Amino acid sequence: MTNLAEPTTGRRRRGRLSQEAVICDRGQVVDLSSTGMRLRCSRVPKGIFETTLRGLGSEVSLKCKVVWTRRAGLFKKLCGIEFIDLDDGDAQRITRMGMINRDRRSV
C-alpha cells in the first residue's frame, strides 16, 4: 500500500463528523461518514478487514479497507478507512451514530 497524504475534500463522497463517543475495536475514530472514517491506530489493518463501531446505544459490524495512511506521532498512524459492501440500513445507522454524537457535543 502506498503511503499517501490525506485525500483532498473533493474526493470525499460524504461529509465527515468529528467523533469522541464512537468506539472502534481497531483504534480511535477521529471522524466518520456513511462511507468511511479516519482512524488513529498503532497498527494499520492489512487488506480487507472487519471491524465494529459502537456508540450511543448502537452497534454496526463493517467490512473495510485502508485507502491512505500517514504518521501521526512516534507510534501512531492516521488511516483513511473505506467501508465496503455497506447496505442502506448500516449506512443510516452510521450516519445516525455520528449525528447523535455531534448533537450531544454541541449542547
Q: Where are the domains of the chain?
A: 16-105
CB-CB neighbours of 104 under 10 Å? 12
Residue at 60: amino acid letter:
V
**pLDDT attached to residue 83:** 96
pTM (two decimals):
0.73
Q: Which CATH class is domain 16-105?
A: mainly beta
Tell me the three cell numbers of residue 103. 448533537
* Distance of alpha carbon 52 from alpha carbon 26, whole angstroms: 8
Output the tens digit of pLDDT for each of the chain's 107 residues: 444 444 444 555 544 445 667 889 999 999 888 899 999 999 999 999 999 999 878 899 999 999 999 999 889 999 999 999 999 999 999 888 877 655 555 55
CB-CB neighbours of 55 under 10 Å? 23
